Amino acid sequence: MTRLEPVSKTAPKWVFTFGAGRADGSAADRDRLGGKGAYLAEMSRLGLPVPPGFTISAELCAVYYELGRKLPEELKPMVGAALDEVGKVGARFGDVENPLLVSVRSGSRASMPGMMDTVLNLGLNDATVEGLARRSGDRRFAYDTYRRFIQMYADVVLGLDHELFEEILENYKGLKGFELDTELRAEDWAEIVARFKTLVSTELGKPFPQDIHEQLWGAIAAVFGSWQNARAIAYRRLHDIPEDWGTAVTIQAMVFGNMGEKSATGVVFTRNPSTGERELYGEFLVNAQGEDVVAGLRTPQPLTEADRRNANSNRQSMEGLMPDAFGELKAACAKLESRFRDI
């Protein structure tokens, strides 16, 4: 695998921040920042409410492999400075009272949906989960988020099959007489977390990592590593994507769709992709995280009232249930279409 530029003794700029109406990069930097990083930067420049974050350049992907699947030491102070910048939102990474949680995602210059790895809710441990519970006033939300993180991190970074965790959850629900995840209370999720951590210790012979910086470096390395997983290699061959492009890694402050009945997550197109009609098209879920939508774990709700009527659905639409948030979403979509002149 070849790198895009030679690595000098003085480390080049590898980290590009975005948020609060500004960004180091833009849509023109797709080759360096990947599609995700470049367009998050562009949306931030447009004034859209993009949660702050930073992108580690795709150039570093080649360096990672040249170093024998290791991250260069020069990256650490750059990431530390970027995390401090993101921490200006109020929450800080590792702060027990007001912890900042982040997502760690891949992003090649060519779209490769579902081919590489993602970690959500990173920054949780036995101390920060209590801080999250106090800050949110919702212990159930905090422990639900913690169990999601343990399961995803163990799968993506530690190499444990996610089905092992699903089995624990389903057995627990059966024992307690629960049918849906939403029926579990705070104490139930706390017990699930304990069982998940026991599984990790049993399978790997060491505890689930409590050091949030260890968590972060593990996740970054895993995302770079996923560029060479079997799924990604097969996809690149099918779509003629050069191996030496590499993937960028975007680290972004988490926002939570699972904070109760006033929170939600979803997917939206600015037009109906089948007909081209000027109407929002998509689906959403109340009190959920994005993986619940894309993984098909729960039946999604219609986005618009028109979708609800057309589907003859008795489930509430986002337009009907959350009219203010829907209005903001509609305005953001109009701004995006105007800027990019595309769906």
CA distance linking residue 231 with residue 221, whole number of Å: 17
pLDDT digits (tens, 9 = 90+) for 279-333: 999 999 998 887 777 777 778 899 999 888 888 888 999 999 999 999 999 999 9
Per-residue tokens: 261: 């009945």
- Both structure tokens of 166: 């699903």
CA distances from 80 to 17, 73, 180 (A): 12, 12, 40
pLDDT tier at 8, thresholds 50, 70, 90: very low
Q: What percent of the chain has pLDDT over 70?
A: 97
Query: What pLDDT band is residue 6 in, cutting at 50, 70 and 90?
Result: very low
> What percent of the chain stands above pLDDT 90?
79
* Listed range (158-172, 201-215, 246-260) with the worst mean pLDDT: 246-260
Decide if pLDDT at 2 tops 80. Answer: no
Backbone angles phi, psi at 243, to 5 degrees: -65, -30
Q: Summarize the confidence of residues 1-16 as an average pLDDT.
A: 62
Taking residues 37-63, report their average pLDDT.
Answer: 96
**Average pLDDT over the chain, rounded to an integer:** 92
Token reading at 20: 């609060």
**Residues in Cβ contact with 52 at an 8 Å cutoff, skipping those fewer than 6 apart:** 17, 18, 19, 20, 44, 85, 86, 88, 89, 252, 253
Q: pTM of the full predicted structure?
A: 0.88
Cα(209)–Cα(285) distance, rounded to whole angstroms?
31
Query: Does 89 have pLDDT greater than 80?
Result: no
Q: Work out the average pLDDT over 155-177.
A: 96
Burial (Cβ within 10 Å: 0-12, 13-18, ≥19) of residue 104: buried
164 neighbors 211 (Cβ within 8 angstroms): no
Radius of gyration of the chain (CA): 20
Q: Please list, in sequence order, all residues whose beta carbon lies within 8 angstroms of the beta carbon of residue 12, skipping any fewer than 6 positions away.
A: 5, 59
Local confidence band at 10 (pLDDT 50, 70, 90 cut-offs): low
The whole-number pLDDT of residue 3 equals 44
Higher confidence at residue 263 or residue 290?
Answer: 263
pLDDT confidence of 7, banded at 50, 70, 90?
very low
3-state secondary structure the chain: CCCCCCCCCCCCCCEEEEECCEECCCHHHHHHHHHHHHHHHHHHHCCCCCCCEEEECCHHHHHHHHCCCCCCCCHHHHHHHHHHHHHHHCCECCCCCCECCEEEEEECCCCCCCCCCEEEEECCCCCHHHHHHHHHCCHHHHHHHHHHHHHHHHHHCCCCCHHHHHHHHHHHHHHHCCCCHHHCCHHHHHHHHHHHHHHHHHHHCCCCCCCHHHHHHHHHHHHHHHHHCHHHHHHHHHHCCCHHHCCEEEEEECCCCCCCCCCEEEEEECCCCCCCCCCCEEEEEECCCHHHHHCCCCCCEECCHHHHHHCCCCCCCHHHHCHHHHHHHHHHHHHHHHHHCCC
| Per-residue pLDDT tens digits for 175-195 | 999 998 889 999 999 999 999
First to last CA, the chain: 34
CB proximity list for 5: less than 8 A, separation 6 or greater: 12, 59
The structural domains of the chain, ordered by start, are 15-253 (3.30.1490.20), 264-340 (3.30.470.20)
Using the predicted structure, report yes or no on whether residue 4 has a pLDDT greater than 50.
no
Q: Which two tokens stand for residue 200?
A: 């990790």
Q: What local confidence, expressed as pLDDT, does residue 293 receive?
A: 77
In whole angstroms, give the CA distance from residue 33 to residue 16.
8
Residue 259 in contact with residue 253, Cβ under 8 Å? no
Per-residue pLDDT band at 59 (split at 50, 70, 90): very high
Instruction: Determine the pLDDT at residue 11.
Output: 66
